[in-house]
Amino acid sequence: MLSIVLTGFSIQSQEVEKNKNAKISFKVDGICGMCKTRIQTAALKTKGVKFAIWDVNTHQLSVIVDERKTAISTIKKNILKAGHDVVEADLNKLKATDEAYQTVHPCCRYRDSEVILDHQGELKKVKKTN
């Protein structure tokens, strides 16, 4: 009986402890300030995500997440649903569905070469009307 209890404790202690403040980063395709807002919002709406910031120049999304509440794959799925492709560490690309991609603003169509040329070196923001 004692050996069964000790074996149970041994197996339990070997489980991977999930970090409540894990710092994770990965690349997400986007092109402008509106993309930044959409990507960060999709990440932050994921349960367990505490912080998210996307850099328009490097396309790097940095998040702080409670791994006990969500998986990184869930964050990526939510970003894909928002219409943005995710680049994996091995450079594999997870593509958003065509339907999701079509929901992004025309200025955010990062797969379109004309849009890319239009944005070269410029962070566009939504203009406020007076």
Give residue-wise pLDDT tens across range 52-84: 999 999 999 999 999 999 999 999 999 999 999
- Give the pLDDT band of residue 7 (cuts 50, 70, 90): low
84: tokens are 């943005």
> What does the pLDDT read at residue 123?
46
| pTM summary value | 0.77
State the Cα–Cα distance between residues 103 and 99, nearest whole angstrom. 7
State the Cα–Cα distance between residues 96 and 74, nearest whole angstrom. 14
Residue 86 has pLDDT above 60, yes or no: yes
Contact yes or no for 30/59 (Cβ under 8 A): yes
State the Cα–Cα distance between residues 28 and 98, nearest whole angstrom. 16
Higher pLDDT, 13 or 120: 120
Residue spans of the domains in the chain: they are 15-119
Domain 15-119 part of CATH 3.90.1570.10: no
In this structure, which amino acid lies at residue 53? I
- Give the pLDDT band of residue 2 (cuts 50, 70, 90): low
> What does the pLDDT read at residue 127?
44
Sheet holding 86-87, edge to edge: 49-54, 60-65, 22-28, 86-87, 93-94
